[in-house]
Amino acid sequence: MNSGDTAWVLISSALVLLMTIPGLAFFYGGLVRRKNVLSILMQCLIILCVITLQWVLYGYSLTFGPDAFKGIIGGLDWAGLRNVGLQPNADYAATIPHYAFMIFQCMFAVITPALIIGTYAERIKFSAFLAFTLLWATFVYNPLGHWVWGMGGWLRDLGALDFAGGIVVHTSSGISALVLALLIGRRIGYDKRTFTPHNLPFTVLGGALLWFGWFGFNAGSALEASGGAALAMVNTWVATACAALSWMFAEWMIKGKPSMLGAASGAVAGLVAITPAAGFVGVMGAIVIGLLAGIVCLWGVNGLKKLLGADDSLDVFGIHGVGGILGAILTGVFVDPALGGTGVYDYVANKVGDFDMATQVIAQLWGVGTVIVWSGVVSIVAFKLVDIVIGLRVAEDEEREGLDVTSHGETAYHH
């Protein structure tokens, strides 16, 4: 056991918790109209509570527990945290208590479905949100986490690299968001007027907290207080700055003015794109990934969104889906030692293996493609199930009045 590693992972767990609430809560909360801000804050808070319980009871065991079926799902050996304790689990992190690894991973399980709420913001029933979130966590997140990160997971064995969740967290939530936006339909009045954010300072505050917490997300994923953690932290910091700049300058050229919302969105796009690559690429690779992320995700929320015609309210797909896919594929390029990357460690030979970019990019594409299909299909099934049993969307008059009053009996602001 190493007290420095343990301290770092425990602190990182707290940092990732901060990303969901207040980070994401305020980032999303500022983007909706004032009649719906509490509904967003409530969803972020309750996801934290619901997924925590799901994770302890069975989610952690399904994701990281001993493989139960051909690399597809963990068993229930660790249900209720049985056999998870104070001693390290050498398969995952040899120098920290198993509890520390478990809680760190729980924070990832929390924020992933929380990202999705931005797509159906302002029009989903609270009960339907609860049911969908639980189904999604169990049938999308838990299997995907096992495939990519679990011992014996089939995508892990295939060689797909995902340092901190570009595939497992961002691609999965982004694709699910696109599916949900298409299925739930547009907000009332979507075609007739633009919905402007009710509080951009909230969004900037939330974005800043996300960036702050993301150091735990990415650098914590080294699972030790090491050079690898330092590299991940530097890459996270630099790529994010580059993406905010490239989005801002691109928007400035296109629209004539650099916007605060654009700069904040660009920063998040950079955070997303560097996530799968953070511990694997050199700093120059991180700069390229960041610069590309700002421009590609700007296209994702403007050009691609119009092509698809979906009302993805807070651009979950355009930023997390597009950015996650971009970052995951570029990880396969910039991990190359010739481009300043770490290369891929061969644990059997106990050294960095010979690098073949084509093989690695194909492994990344397998990871991305699998997640797109799985999260897309399961999201459709979960949506249909919840829609049949509960009904997903609030009544039209409730949507017009706002979810704060109609779903929660409260208002954020008193006139």
Only one residue has tokens 């599916």, namely 179
Read off the tokens for 30.
């500022």
Alpha-carbon distance of 320 to 400, in angstroms, equals 28
The string of pLDDT tens digits covering residues 224-251 is 999 999 999 999 999 999 999 999 999 9
Whether the Cβ atoms of residue 280 and residue 289 lie closer than 8 Å to each other: no
At residue 349, the pLDDT reads 73
Q: For residue 351, what are the β-bridge partners? A: 346
Q: How confident is the model at residue 407 (pLDDT cuts 50, 70, 90)?
A: very high
The angle that helices 200-219 and 260-274 make with each other, rounded to 10 degrees, is 10
pLDDT for res 100: 98
Q: Which residues contact 402 (CB under 8 A, 6 or more apart)?
A: 33, 34, 35, 36, 39, 122
pLDDT tens-digit readout, 334-351: 999 999 999 988 766 778
pLDDT tens figures, 182-227: 999 999 999 888 889 999 999 999 999 999 999 999 999 999 999 9
Please give the Cα distance from 172 to 183 (Å, whole number): 17
Average pLDDT, integer, range 77-89: 97
- Residue 382, classified by CB atoms within 10 Å of its CB into exposed (0-12), middle (13-18) or buried (19+), is buried
Question: Which band of pLDDT confidence, cut at 50, 70 and 90, is reported for residue 291?
Answer: very high
pTM here is: 0.96
**pLDDT for residue 110:** 98
pLDDT at 46 over 80: yes
158, 85 contact by CB (below 8 A): no
Q: How far is 285 from 100, CA to CA, in rounded Å?
A: 31
For residue 78, pLDDT beyond 80: yes
The residue that leads in pLDDT, 49 or 344, is 49
Q: Are 258 and 245 in contact (CB under 8 A)?
A: no
Encoded tokens for 394: 């609030």
Distance CA 328, CA 278 (A): 10
**Res 267: pLDDT:** 98
Ordered DSSP codes for 180-233: HHHHH-PPTTTTTS----S-HHHHHHHHHHHHHHHHHHHHGGG-SSSHHHHHHH
The band of 414, judged by pLDDT with boundaries at 50, 70 and 90, is: confident
Q: Cα separation of 215 and 140, whole Å?
A: 25
Tell whether the model's pLDDT for residue 415 goes beyond 80: no
What is the pLDDT confidence band of residue 354, given thresholds at 50, 70 and 90? confident
User: Is residue 91 scored above 90 in pLDDT?
Assistant: yes
* Contact predicate 154/71, CB 8 Å: yes
Across 295-311, average pLDDT: 92
Consecutive H or E run containing 268: helix 260-274
Which residue, among 237, 241, 210, 233, has the nearest Cα to 320 in the 3D structure? Answer: 210
Q: Name the nearest CA neighbour of 300 among 266, 276, 253, 331.
A: 266
Task: Note the pLDDT of residue 158.
Answer: 94
Q: How far is CA 23 from the centre of its chain?
A: 13
